[in-house]
Structure 1
Amino acid sequence: MARSLELATGKPGSAIRPISAETVNLVRIRTREDVRRAAEALHQLAMDAGMRAAPAHDIADKRTPVDHEGNILASDVFGWNAEKAWWRNSRIALDSPLTSACRFTGEPFWVNAQGFRTREPNGYLAAIDLGNFEARAMTRAAIVVPVHLPFGQIGAVSFNPLDTAMTDLEEAFASHGDAFGLYARTFIASYVQVMGARQALPPGSRLSKREVECLRWAAIGKTDLEISMIMSRSRPTVRFHIHNASTKLNAVNRSQTVFKAAQLGYISLGT
């Protein structure tokens, strides 16, 4: 993949390849041996737009994607040096406004010290503290793609301008935001699928209608006795359904059963 002329100036340009099935497949991972090749493709797509990608498969974990031999892609492929080794910052998951925003939106956005910009308004982002932005975000501006995965895991890829003085990414976001979103989601989701250490749930974990109904009431604080009265079932029957759900979801207690059921979309914890 030829590099664009924009790389000479480090300014986000328009040389990124058009979205196509072929281009998406470049960043898709099918086997562990594919990881480095897909990372190199994502790196090149970002560089062609005058950006450098920073991938994280789990924003709650300071570890970042590695290839099948355990080499850290952030440094080996994406070119982040020791000075900008953001994944070694133990506070970044809690303190960075970029990771904070990924918990409140599933859509690409761009951000600098003056605020977040999204396709659609998002009041949660407006409430995030942007004080001391550059030090906490470790960049002056970035286009960020949150990647919401099964079981509540959140990944992300931020795209940072090669021109480190640049703070206005409006044009780059308009030109590349959707493409970056597709490439980042494909790379991170397929990485997690292939490199995941184990299944998060045992086989046969599908919940029954009664189990879901009991958990919906449990989620809003109802006791077994109250649920039995609401559902016109005996208390032992309610306990039976909740216990079955707990076993299926490999949960250790009632609270974790409710939480895992919500992660899988069986119930909602929203008001």
Structure 2
Amino acid sequence: MVLLSQENIDAVRVTGPEKIRPAAEALHRIAHAHGMRVAPAHDIADKRTPVDAEGNILAHSVFGWPDEERVWWRNSKLALDSPLTAACRFESQPFWVNAGGFRTMEHNPYLESVDLTNFEHRALTKAAIVVPVHLPFGQIGAVSFNPEDRDKTDLTEDFALLGDAFGLYARTFIATYVQVMGTHQALPPDSRLSKREVECLRWAAIGKTDLEISMIMSRSRATVRFHIHNAATKLNAVNRSQTVFKAAQLGYISLAKK
């Protein structure tokens, strides 16, 4: 099988509920051709795992994982404790990992803090190529490619050969799955903020009060409150903190510490 092709990209793309299973089967075929099994998660904060249009769990019915007690979609503690999902919160590019550490295309110091104690028990594999999938509204998905040879621990050559291609296929599958299956929009479509609203929220995000913002911007306190209230209305937020958070989700402001 050709590793990377437009035909394969189209095959793993979910264009409707009825296409979920064929897309999953295509992803399975690609991984299997290179000695890997797929473990998909469309939201690492949710123990639920991707399903087809009839509600069948793809990990079990397509990707071949046994339907046993210690599976990530039946035990939320596994997802919270897994070093694989923990790393996806700090990394956006494909990486591979075993008990010896994380290997990335570019060094990421944040991964050094991820606990790898009892790696095999917590990750349910001795080694894996993992693709984080960062989605709109702060949602994070992930696809783990685990060796069919369960004793294999060195994926250096596999990652060099497969990492980029697996990254493209995994992102295409998860992103289009979420788009097709999403029933709740976290933010309203008409949420364009004005320049003044964004400026007020930027100061609010670093802890400035309305009075302090009014002094910084040379505007009245009432004007600052007006802009923040308007932003909250546009973003369907219930309070100041949620307004700031949703503005950050849309990329208007940053919550990174200065």
TM-score norm. by structure 2 comes to 0.97
> Which residue number in structure 2 is paired with residue 24 of structure 1?
9
Deviation of 1:93 (Å): 2.6
Name the CA distance, whole Å, in 1 between partners of 2:146 and 2:39: 8
5+ residue gaps, structure 1, are 1-15
> Which residue number in structure 1 is paired with residue 181 of structure 2?
195
> Which residue number in structure 2 is paired with residue 92 of structure 1?
78
> Which residue number in structure 2 is paired with residue 63 of structure 1?
48
Deviations 1:20-76 (A, max 9, x none): 222101100111111001000001111001000000000000000011111111101
TM superposition outliers: structure 1 runs of 4+ over 2 Å: 82-86
Name the CA distance, whole Å, in 2 between partners of 1:234 and 1:228: 5
Partner SS, residue 55 of structure 1 = strand
Q: How does 1:1-271 map to 2 (within 5 A)?
A: 16-83=1-68, 85-270=71-256, 271=258
Deviation of 1:143 (Å): 0.3
Letter in 1 for 2:22: R
Name the CA distance, whole Å, in 2 between partners of 1:255 and 1:114: 40
Name the CA distance, whole Å, in 2 between partners of 1:222 and 1:86: 42
Letter in 1 for 2:11: L
Q: Root-mean-square deviation (CA), in Å?
A: 1.0
Name the CA distance, whole Å, in 2 between partners of 1:98 and 1:255: 30
Name the CA distance, whole Å, in 2 between partners of 1:163 and 1:152: 34
Name the CA distance, whole Å, in 1 between partners of 2:185 and 2:99: 40
TM-score norm. by structure 1 comes to 0.92
Using the aligned pairs only, state the percent identity: 76
Name the CA distance, whole Å, in 2 between partners of 1:35 and 1:184: 13
Deviation of 1:191 (Å): 0.5
Partner SS, residue 91 of structure 1 = helix
Name the CA distance, whole Å, in 2 between partners of 1:199 and 1:97: 29
Deviation of 1:17 (Å): 2.2
5+ residue gaps, structure 2, are none
Deviation of 1:198 (Å): 2.2
> Which residue number in structure 2 is paired with residue 6 of structure 1?
none
Name the CA distance, whole Å, in 2 between partners of 1:86 and 1:47: 21
- Whether the aligned pair in 2 keeps the contact of 1:108 and 1:145 (CA below 8 Å) is yes
Deviation of 1:145 (Å): 0.1
Deviations 1:203-239 (A, max 9, x none): 3111111110000000000000110111111111111
Deviations 1:233-270 (A, max 9, x none): 11111111111111111111100111111111100111
Deviation of 1:199 (Å): 2.0
